[in-house]
Amino acid sequence: MELEARAATFRLAETFVISRDSTDETESVIAEVTHRGQTGYGEGTPIGRYGEDAASAAEFLNECGELLGDDPFAFDEIHARLPQASNTQAARAALDHALHDLCGKLTGLPVWRLLGLRRGGPPTCWTVWLGDPDDMARRAERAAQRFRRLKLKLGGRDGLDLERVRAVRAVTELPLQVDVNEYWTVDEALEALPQLAGLGVEYCEQPLPEGDEGGAIVKERSPVPIYVDEDCHTLADVAVCAGRAHGINIKLSKSGGIREAIRMAHAARALGLGVMLGCMTESGLAISAGAQIASLCDFVDLDGNLLLLEDPWPGVEFRNGVQLPPDKPGLGVESIVSLSAERSDGRN
């Protein structure tokens, strides 16, 4: 097998604001694995705080070509041969997805069929970015026409987080969840969570900083289920998270791809945890990888490609609020040449 990787930049339709950051473009790493004339494609989205960027991810993969061997179905052996370097999760995800895409194309099966899963999962939420309460309500009202649930980004550090939820609740009856992105203290969380329960919020994602000692107390006292995201990366984290959360948010760019994500979903079930599938702002190539396994999850947040000015890898079908994976071999999406297409050097 031959492996090639490159960085790609995608423009967002609007500036994306969460508690720690704002951005108007996003970078991914794209892996291409070729075997007997067939090419599989995969995307991973590096997360800066974990010391990986698109250039380092592409460099890591371009040094791994020799290690792939000649059997695209030998996932365990291929993964075991990769260097055990840290900060390579997005690179590993891109490769894992490219191998799944390739195996699907070689067998003529969509990945969800290859894995024996159902095609459709729960409806995706739409992320309402952090803003002032009126602004979030306006954007929520617009999104409520197309989506069946909303995720509100909180953690404004301005005393207005509950106002944000009230303002949105006043304009829509849709199911709501919130994501604090680690911005509350234990005391703030214990004060806010009962009020969120009163507003009908279904669950709260990552109220506390990763690893915060107060996690167990907040889990015990919260009337709203707690889901952890920044606390939970790979299978090795899931058991620990059971002590501080009612559910986990799996993201393929944290887990290192589909294969580890499935292990995490099953481990979470064994521990009585709920399972959410999240994403980054990324193209349909990565969103398709998530959509293939969405049926394993209780909640799905796969709006990443819908946040782009234009999806350069169309094929995932947004139908009645659900991000449905294509009914085509592999990941089932194809690259298009367009205004936002990658230039020959992989940047735009």
Nearer to Mg ion, 52 or 179 (CB): 179
Interface of this chain with Mg ion, residues 165 to 194, rule: CB under 5 A: 179
In the complex, minimum distance from the CB of residue 343 to Mg ion, in angstroms, rounded to a whole number: 31
Interface of this chain with Mg ion, residues 35 to 64, rule: CB under 5 A: none
CA distance 277 to 229: 10
Residue span binding Mg ion (CB under 5 A) among the ranges 22-30, 210-218, 226-234, 292-300: 226-234
Interface of this chain with Mg ion, residues 244 to 263, rule: CB under 5 A: none
* Number of residues binding to Mg ion, judged by CB under 5 A: 3
Nearer to Mg ion, 107 or 234 (CB): 234
CA distance 314 to 284: 6
In the complex, minimum distance from the CB of residue 251 to Mg ion, in angstroms, rounded to a whole number: 8
In the complex, minimum distance from the CB of residue 262 to Mg ion, in angstroms, rounded to a whole number: 20
Interface map 103-142 toward Mg ion (x if CB under 5 A): ----------------------------------------
Residue span binding Mg ion (CB under 5 A) among the ranges 24-32, 60-68, 160-168, 203-211: 203-211
Nearer to Mg ion, 115 or 241 (CB): 241
- The residue of the chain with the least Cβ separation from Mg ion equals 229
**Residue 286, token pair as written in the block:** 């990565």
| Candidate residues 32, 182, 229, 260; the one interacting with Mg ion per rule CB under 5 A | 229
In the complex, minimum distance from the CB of residue 249 to Mg ion, in angstroms, rounded to a whole number: 6
Nearer to Mg ion, 46 or 330 (CB): 46
In the complex, minimum distance from the CB of residue 67 to Mg ion, in angstroms, rounded to a whole number: 32
> Interface with Mg ion includes 303 (CB under 5 A)?
no
Of 232, 249, 325, 254, the C-alpha closest to 44 is 254
Nearer to Mg ion, 21 or 77 (CB): 21
In the complex, minimum distance from the CB of residue 276 to Mg ion, in angstroms, rounded to a whole number: 9
Q: How far is CA 269 from CA 227, 229, 253, 264, 302, in A?
A: 14, 16, 21, 9, 21
Angle at which helices 258-270 and 89-107 cross, to 10°? 100
Residue span binding Mg ion (CB under 5 A) among the ranges 28-36, 197-205, 217-225, 318-326: 197-205
Instruction: Give the interface with Mg ion as residue ranges (CB under 5 A).
Output: 179, 205, 229
